């Protein structure tokens, strides 16, 4: 796996030398025409994925799910149940792949680790004062270290949208690099932009490059806690960004749409976006994830439908 | 079937935000035919019903005004289709309401359906008739386009309970406004039944809200309402119209005064333009190359 | 999990389009055989399968059809506009109801992907009738004075690239304004027009108002030259357009011609690059490039040439060519063997003249008429592929340094139908658009059509406009 950090010698390393250099770089990225972007996403949404392709896509999608619970009401019991579900999503069919990860708050990491022990399912933890990100840097870093110490394999951090929107890009950059450092070598870093709050596609492209330059292993759309979360258009845009970033730097970065993806049909549309934008190198749970909870059961019902020819119902998948 | 079968009466209700509530007042009033025979009890709307209707109309405005003109045309045409399917019902209601023979009422209903079709066709043409590019004397692109003004209160004509109603309502919503309609006071039933057609015609809830009751009582809060952008006074008499126009001046509502109208005649564009704003956009064009500006 | 995401075949069912073994001419409300009994076969260009045998109109049939249209004209033109409107609304609705059937039919007969017929052609066809239906009773407001009168019988000849859409562009405004119609579809794509005849019957349209004459160029010539035709509308090649212009010389016939093009798609260095790539692809590969307004010349600013071409080539590699009925097909078949031969010969000429040819790895089906998406680089204004309309999936890439140069090159053609401008700078869009000698200029988009929007060319791309309020003029005595 290539290193996820730019070497000191890479020409792009310089762009974060100062706030103004970073701003010049980010504002020099090509603009995004919203109508065209959304049109392209909608057009790819008309792809018709049937039979064998559908079976492949459903299993792939299951393997890419970051099965998530991020509620104030979370308990160890809830997290253990989620872990069991992630490992064996469909107890009636052992050929069903495990999900990629479970995603929990930092205080639940150790419970989650135990629940998925020995399975290959990763534990991801949101950190950095998720979801608002409104805390001092040392509090955020303590949050990250706590999760990493508890065994988190992946850290989902939120950027400071206030800083980003007011143009203090270097502050955002520095926070990401600091968090990256706190992740050490054991945890991969997902950087959440909260695209619904960044508001414009130009901002999403800039945030994507900012995150990747700062060392993100994954760029992620949203927290799932605001009105607009992952959409085909914003995910397409981020896929273009990781594609272009790899072309320029050789570094591959993953993409994680999160929030609002609830049906197999939606998930398959996202996989089509991946396939036809970033390409097949990203069609792997190491490089693409779905941040979701209810999606998994719909994928399982569709999987049962393909296996039996009958439409399944919610009574035939587990509620966790 | 036996002659003695007892028919099922319809409870007439208001139409607000896509739902059919009873009046908040809990009151109704008696509606009779032209000979004084009881037809039904209609809801007697209060000022709170008017307030709720304005809230619903405002909420629907973004979606309806933002829909494509083509889409609005399709929806309005769908209304005509659904009306055609309920033609017999409306012939009966109009005959009762206006004391017309079946054949005269049928002619009124047919004209009403055709009126929807007429306005359905206007949605994507009005901008081409009243908008356009302006050849300003300078290096600027300059385009004027009509836009709907917002929430329009419509006092439906008192005499023409159906054709008149549609003739004042359709032009308001064709261009993307949303409407709060006060039905003919003495003959509100065709209006209340029209609401049932609208509810099943892809017209989004809140685009048209229908209130029945005492016109003067309902119109006063609407005319004074700060979140209503315009008012059509077709159903107000001279005295009431003047009072309402004065109230409407408070937030400078666009006011369409009552005027004698022969609703059987093909209308012009005036009832649409009355509730349209014109927006003009300027943008520099400049010239190319070294002789002018070079980019 | 590391296998490739192969899309399984997802064919639209062809059973929905019930094609009869033979069809007649549609004259005066009836399907009839040709006077001389001649027929021709129409084939599916993706398989070369014969779809049906169709009566071939000759000059005698043209005369019968024109006379039928003439007889129908008196009553039709005297109908209140509101009644004509309702007929057209009926037609629009029936087209919407039957749109999947018509999409499959069109894909079979034309070879274009079902994705396009389903998502572009058919919705536009219905919308066009819907739009002009609304004009039928509003002609007083159209800006041509009070009570503008129709012309009479319209003789209309349409091409094979958008068979039903071109029919809609011709018939909808003609009927709305009170004219009656004799329409000749192209010989390679007669079927959707014949299905349309059935729609006219379902709508209860009076006999003789619409007459459909499948046939070849001789029937078209007979129609155009018929003395009782008052209006000629033609969409097709510039060569035939010029012939028509000569034919009608000295008559009182009103003429609109919508002819060829060599559209320039101009990409500046500040363009939204990913969307520009999509626009370029859509501009030249939509309908296999068999589009008169195709963006067949890419003019790219030198400073981004390399980056843009890399992106473009990468994108072309994802295009899916194959069975037009497969819902995932992006590129379908070329409409006819004749057209394929023309494309092939022009492309060979391009290579011979020194332009650099590139196509993505792309397997072509064994039967049917196919041409891989093709890119020419190192093209100059002097190359044939930069000047002649190829009418196929072939893009010629040229470069420019300044906006003036872009405009000069874009205008340096006898054609003047369409152009595209890609830049994030608004004033540049408007300044360049001002200077372009083209009837349709798309900015940061391409190949967009709408019934409310007039379409037509400058110079040898023809004259007159179709669509919008402007499109009424061609059918009114004004």
CA distance C227 to chain B (A): 35
CATH number at residue A200: 3.20.20.70
Does a structural domain hold residue B20? no
Q: Helix (H) and strand (E) counts for chain A?
A: 13, 8
Comparing CB atoms, the residue among C86, C134, C452 nearest residue B122 is C134
Closest alpha carbon within chain B to C123: B70
Does a structural domain hold residue B214? yes
B67-88 pLDDT tens trace: 999 999 999 999 999 999 999 9
- Which C-chain residues 395-424 have CB contacts (< 8 A) with chain A? 424
Closest alpha carbon within chain B to C137: B118
Closest alpha carbon within chain C to B119: C134
Comparing CB atoms, the residue among C8, C274, C318 nearest residue A276 is C318
Mean pLDDT taken over chain A: 95
Across the interface, do C138 and B121 touch by the CB < 8 Å criterion? yes
Closest alpha carbon within chain C to B288: C404
Handedness of CA C457, C137, B65, C165 (dihedral sign): negative
Q: Tell me which residue range forms the domain holding A118.
A: 15-309
Mean pLDDT taken over chain B: 96
CA distances from B92 to B156, B162, B193, B262 (A): 20, 12, 12, 22
Question: What is the reported pLDDT for A2?
Answer: 44
The single residue of C12, C116, C187, C258 carrying the catalytic annotation is: C258
Residue B292 confidence (pLDDT) above 50: no
Tell me the CB-side half-sphere exposure of residue B11, using CA atoms within 13 A.
7
Question: What is the reported pLDDT for B2?
Answer: 57
Across the interface, do C1 and A284 touch by the CB < 8 Å criterion? yes
Residue A232 confidence (pLDDT) above 70: yes
Does a structural domain hold residue A24? yes
Distance CA A224, CA A299 (A): 19
**What is chain B's Cα-based Rg?**
21
Which DSSP state fits B10? P
Domains of chain C are: 14-259+458-473 (3.40.605.10), 264-443 (3.40.309.10)
CATH number at residue B198: 3.40.605.10
Question: What is the reported pLDDT for C231?
Answer: 98
Does a structural domain hold residue B116? yes
A29-38 pLDDT tens trace: 999 999 999 9
Q: Does B294 touch chain C (CB under 8 A)?
A: yes
Does a structural domain hold residue A6? no
Report yes or no on chains C and A touching (3+ CB pairs under 8 A).
Answer: yes
Question: What is the reported pLDDT for B4?
Answer: 87
CA distance C431 to chain B (A): 5
Distance CA C308, CA C277 (A): 7
Q: Tell me which residue range forms the domain holding B75.
A: 28-284
Question: What is the reported pLDDT for C1?
Answer: 41
The count of domains in chain B is 1
Residue B290 confidence (pLDDT) above 60: no
Q: Tell me if residue A113 is catalytic.
A: no
The string of DSSP letters for B153-205 reads EEE--SS-TTHHHHHHHHHHHHTT-EEEEEPPSS--HHHHHHHHHHHTTTPPT
Centre a 10 Å sphere on the Cβ of residue A35 and count the other Cβ atoms it contains.
Answer: 12
Does a structural domain hold residue A60? yes
User: Which chains touch B (3+ CB pairs under 8 A)?
Assistant: C
Q: How do B140-148 and B276-284 pair as beta strands?
A: antiparallel
Q: Tell me if residue A244 is catalytic.
A: no
Q: Which residues of chain C have pLDDT under 70?
A: 1-3
Across the interface, do B283 and C430 touch by the CB < 8 Å criterion? yes
Question: What is the reported pLDDT for A4?
Answer: 56
Comparing CB atoms, the residue among A36, A57, A284 nearest residue C445 is A36
Across the interface, do C278 and A53 touch by the CB < 8 Å criterion? no
Comparing CB atoms, the residue among A47, A51, A56 nearest residue C328 is A47
Distance CA B199, CA B211 (A): 15
Mean pLDDT, rounded, for B137-158: 97
Distance CA C87, CA C85 (A): 5
Across the interface, do A97 and C119 touch by the CB < 8 Å criterion? no
Does a structural domain hold residue A201? yes
Q: Which residues of A touch C424 (CB under 8 A)?
A: 31, 33
Question: What is the reported pLDDT for C216?
Answer: 98
Contact indicator for B79, B198 with CB cutoff of 8 Å: yes
Contact indicator for C456, C258 with CB cutoff of 8 Å: yes
Does a structural domain hold residue B3? no
Mutate to test the interface with C, among B117, B265, B295 (most CBs of C within 10 A): B295
Centre a 10 Å sphere on the Cβ of residue C21 and count the other Cβ atoms it contains.
Answer: 8
Residue B12 confidence (pLDDT) above 80: yes
ipTM, two decimals, is 0.95
Q: Which residues of A touch C1 (CB under 8 A)?
A: 59-60, 63, 97, 283-285
Question: What is the reported pLDDT for A165?
Answer: 98
Confidence of residue A319 (pLDDT cuts 50, 70, 90): confident
**C382 exposed, middle or buried (CB, 10 Å; 0-12, 13-18, 19+)?**
exposed
Omega of the bond leading into A131 within 30 degrees of 0 (cis): yes
CA distance C407 to chain A (A): 23
C131-183 pLDDT tens trace: 999 999 999 999 999 999 999 999 999 999 999 999 999 999 999 999 999 99
Does a structural domain hold residue A7? no
Distance CA C209, CA C200 (A): 9
Question: What is the reported pLDDT for C4?
Answer: 79
Find the helix packing angle between A51-63 and A294-308, rounded to 10°.
Answer: 150
Question: What is the reported pLDDT for B295?
Answer: 38
Cβ contacts below 8 Å, chain A against chain C, sum to: 80
CB contact set of C63 (below 8 Å; sequence gap of 6+)? C222, C226
The single residue of A202, A256, A269, A320 carrying the catalytic annotation is: A256
Q: Which residues of A touch C271 (CB under 8 A)?
A: 30-31
The count of domains in chain A is 1
Does a structural domain hold residue A9? no
């Amino acid at each position: 796996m290539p290193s996820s950090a730019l070497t000191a010698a890479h020409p792009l390393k310089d762009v974060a030398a100062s706030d103004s250099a970073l701003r010049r770089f980010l504002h020099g990225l090509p603009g995004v025409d919203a109508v065209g972007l959304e049109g392209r996403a909608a057009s790819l949404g008309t792809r018709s994925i049937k039979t064998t392709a559908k079976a492949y896509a459903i299993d792939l999608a299951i393997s890419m799910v970051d099965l998530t619970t991020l509620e104030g009401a979370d308990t160890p019991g809830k997290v253990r149940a989620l872990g069991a579900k992630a490992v064996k999503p469909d107890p009636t069919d052992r050929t069903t792949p495990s999900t990629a990860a479970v995603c929990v708050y930092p205080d639940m990491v150790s419970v989650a680790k135990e629940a998925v022990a020995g399975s290959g399912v990763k534990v991801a933890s949101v950190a950095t004062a998720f979801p608002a990100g409104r805390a001092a840097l040392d509090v955020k870093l303590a949050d990250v270290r706590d999760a990493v110490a508890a065994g988190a394999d992946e850290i989902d951090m939120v950027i400071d949208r206030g800083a980003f929107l007011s143009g203090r890009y270097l502050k955002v950059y520095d926070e990401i690099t600091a968090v990256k450092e706190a992740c050490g070598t054991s945890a991969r870093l997902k950087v959440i932009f909260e695209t619904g709050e960044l508001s414009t596609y130009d901002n999403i492209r800039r945030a994507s490059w900012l995150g990747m330059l700062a060392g993100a292993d994954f760029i992620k759309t949203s927290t799932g806690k605001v009105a607009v979360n992952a959409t085909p258009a914003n995910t397409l845009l981020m896929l273009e960004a990781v594609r272009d970033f790899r072309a320029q730097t050789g570094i591959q970065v993953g993409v994680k749409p999160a929030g609002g993806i609830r049906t197999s049909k939606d998930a398959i549309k996202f996989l089509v976006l991946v396939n036809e934008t970033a390409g097949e190198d990203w069609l792997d749970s190491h490089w693409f994830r779905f941040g979701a909870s209810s999606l998994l059961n719909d994928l399982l019902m569709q999987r049962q439908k393909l296996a039996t020819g009958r439409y399944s119902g919610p009574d035939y998948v587990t509620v966790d | 079937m036996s002659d003695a079968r007892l028919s099922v009466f319809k409870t007439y209700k208001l139409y607000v935000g896509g739902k059919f509530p009873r009046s908040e007042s809990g009151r109704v009033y008696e509606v009779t035919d032209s000979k004084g025979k009881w037809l039904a009890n209609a809801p007697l709307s209060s000022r709170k019903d008017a307030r709720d209707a304005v809230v619903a109309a405002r909420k629907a405005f973004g979606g309806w005004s933002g829909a494509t003109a083509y889409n609005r045309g399709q929806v309005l045409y769908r209304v005509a289709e659904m009306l055609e399917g309920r033609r017999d019902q409306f012939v009966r209601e109009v005959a009762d309401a206006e004391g017309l023979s079946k054949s005269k009422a049928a002619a009124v209903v047919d004209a009403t359906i055709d009126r929807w079709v007429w306005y359905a066709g206007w949605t994507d043409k009005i901008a081409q008739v009243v908008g356009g590019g302006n050849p300003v004397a300078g290096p600027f692109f300059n385009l004027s386009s009509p836009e709907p003004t917002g929430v329009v209160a419509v006092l439906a004509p008192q005499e023409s309970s159906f054709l008149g109603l549609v003739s004042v309502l359709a032009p308001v919503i064709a261009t993307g406004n949303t409407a709060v309609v006060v039905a003919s006071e003495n003959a509100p039933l065709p209006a209340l039944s029209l609401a049932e057609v609208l509810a099943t015609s892809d017209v989004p809830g809140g685009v048209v809200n229908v209130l029945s009751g005492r016109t003067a009582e309902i119109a006063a809060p609407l005319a004074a309402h700060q979140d209503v952008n315009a008012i059509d006074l077709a159903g107000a008499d001279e005295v009431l119209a003047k009072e309402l126009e004065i109230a409407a001046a408070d937030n400078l509502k666009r006011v369409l005064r009552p005027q004698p109208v022969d609703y059987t005649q093909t209308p012009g564009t005036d009832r649409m333009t009355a509730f349209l704003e014109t927006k003009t956009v300027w943008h520099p064009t400049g010239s190319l190359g070294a002789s002018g500006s070079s980019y | 999990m590391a296998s490739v995401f192969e899309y399984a075949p997802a064919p639209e069912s062809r059973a929905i389009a019930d094609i009869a073994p033979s069809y007649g001419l549609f004259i005066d409300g009836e399907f009839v055989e040709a006077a001389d009994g001649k027929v021709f076969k129409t084939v599916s260009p993706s398989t070369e399968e014969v779809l049906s045998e169709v009566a071939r109109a000759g000059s005698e049939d043209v005369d019968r059809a024109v006379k039928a249209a003439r007889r129908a004209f008196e009553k039709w033109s005297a109908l209140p506009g509101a009644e004509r409107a309702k007929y057209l609304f009926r037609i629009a609705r029936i087209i919407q109801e039957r749109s999947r059937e018509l999409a499959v039919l069109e894909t079979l007969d034309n070879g274009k992907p079902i994705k396009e017929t389903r998502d572009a052609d058919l919705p536009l066809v219905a919308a066009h009738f819907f739009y002009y239906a609304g004009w039928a009773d509003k002609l007083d407001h159209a800006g041509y004075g009070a009570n503008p009168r129709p012309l009479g019988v319209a003789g209309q000849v349409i091409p094979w690239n958008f068979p039903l859409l071109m029919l809609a562009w011709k018939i909808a405004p003609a009927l709305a304004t009170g004219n009656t119609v004799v329409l000749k579809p192209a010989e390679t794509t007669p079927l959707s027009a014949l299905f349309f005849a059935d729609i006219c019957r379902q709508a209860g349209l009076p006999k003789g108002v619409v007459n459909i004459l499948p046939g070849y160029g001789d029937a078209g010539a007979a129609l155009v030259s018929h003395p009782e035709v008052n209006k000629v509308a033609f969409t097709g090649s510039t060569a035939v357009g010029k012939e028509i212009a000569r034919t009608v010389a000295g008559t009182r016939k009103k003429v609109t011609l919508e002819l060829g093009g060599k559209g320039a798609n101009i990409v500046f260095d500040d363009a939204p690059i990913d969307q520009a790539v999509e626009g370029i692809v859509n501009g030249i590969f939509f309908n296999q490039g068999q589009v008169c307004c195709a963006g067949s010349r890419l003019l790219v600013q030198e400073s981004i040439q390399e980056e843009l071409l890399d992106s473009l080539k990468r994108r072309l590699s994802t295009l899916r060519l194959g069975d037009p009925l497969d819902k995932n097909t992006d590129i379908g078949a070329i409409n006819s063997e004749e057209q394929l031969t023309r494309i092939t010969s022009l492309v060979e000429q391009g290579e011979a003249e020194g332009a650099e040819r590139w196509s993505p790895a792309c397997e072509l089906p064994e039967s049917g008429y196919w041409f891989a998406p093709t890119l020419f680089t190192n093209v100059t204004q002097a190359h044939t592929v930069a000047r002649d309309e190829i009418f196929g999936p072939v893009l010629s890439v040229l470069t420019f340094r300044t906006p003036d140069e872009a405009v000069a090159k874009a205008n340096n053609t006898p054609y003047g139908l369409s152009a595209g401008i890609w830049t994030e700078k608004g004033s540049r869009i408007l300044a360049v658009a001002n200077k372009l000698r083209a009837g349709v200029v798309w900015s940061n988009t391409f190949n967009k059509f709408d019934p409310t929007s007039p379409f037509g060319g400058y110079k040898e791309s023809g004259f007159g406009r179709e669509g919008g309020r402007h499109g009424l003029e061609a059918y009114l005595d004004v």
